[in-house]
Amino acid sequence: SAQSDKNSKGTLSVVTEAGFAPFSYLDKGELAGFDIELLDAVMKEAGYDYDIQNVGWESMLASVQNGEADLAIAGITINDDRRESYDFSSPYFESTHKIVFREGENITSGEDIQDLKVGVQAGTTGAEAAEKILGANHPNIAKYDANTLAFMSLQSGDVDAVVTDNVVANEYVKNNPDAKVEMIEDPDTFDSEFYGILFPKGSEVTEDVNTALQTLIENGTYAELYDKWFGA
């Protein structure tokens, strides 16, 4: 608590979307993941206490935008659209998109999903990536509230493919050896992007977080976390 640490700058209210393994997810009911551990290290380094709540993607974004939450972390991509309504930390992770599909589909490039049913998480850059291929609001694009629901639809056959962040795709395929799915990346179709911690516009915490992130990069803590979660 704030009282137990007399050096604390106060208690921040943090929101996450724990449907995004290996960045933010629930392990036996407890929040876990690279983002969860990075956040903890950043908060300690920056001198803040924090409370963290797992909410849905849309509520997470809304509560940061209206200032109910002080910040959010959940593999959130930095982009110009969002910069209009939010501030971001410096980038902390590079990402791109992958296509996950049921074994047997002949998919070797982004173009190959043009005539298929594609599942995405609504309001994400994965949804935008799919819309770039099929067309905005194309009827063959099924938008779900969570990435986990898009994967369930792939398993049940409601969609033929899912477009999502590459590392999240890797984790899903690794954790579901019986799902009979494959995945591809296609650098000609999918751009690289960067995750940042999300703040309300004008937040005074952003600078402290950026300073802490920089320290964690310089002192090797970031590399330790990276190796733990993504190392070979």
Q: Cβ–Cβ contacts within 10 Å for residue 132, how many?
A: 15
Find the part of the chain contacting ligand GLN (CB under 6 A) among 75-83, 103-111, 182-190, 212-220: 75-83
User: Is the CB of residue 174 less than 8 Å from the CB of residue 151?
Assistant: no
Query: How many H-runs (helices) and E-runs (strands) does the chain carry?
Result: 8, 15
User: Is the CB of residue 212 less than 8 Å from the CB of residue 79?
Assistant: no
Interacting residues with ligand GLN between 103 and 132 (CB under 6 A): 121, 124-125
Question: Which among 167, 148, 125 has a CA at the least distance from the CA of 18?
Answer: 148
Which residues have a Cβ under 8 Å from the Cβ of 4 and sit 6 or more positions away?
A: none
Interacting residues with ligand GLN between 7 and 26 (CB under 6 A): 17, 20
Which residue minimizes CB distance to ligand GLN? 124
**Among residues 22, 33, 75, 196, the one that binds ligand GLN under rule CB under 6 A:** 75
Find the part of the chain contacting ligand GLN (CB under 6 A) among 44-52, 72-80, 86-94, 172-180: 72-80
The minimum distance between CB 134 and ligand GLN, in angstroms, equals 17
Contact map string, positions 137 to 176, toward ligand GLN, x by CB under 6 A:
----------x-----------------x-----------
76 binds ligand GLN (CB under 6 A): yes
203 binds ligand GLN (CB under 6 A): no
- Bridge-based pairing state of the strands 198-200 and 86-88: antiparallel
- Bridge-based pairing state of the strands 141-144 and 19-20: unpaired
For ligand GLN, the binding residues (CB under 6 A) are: 17, 20, 57, 74-77, 121, 124-125, 147, 165
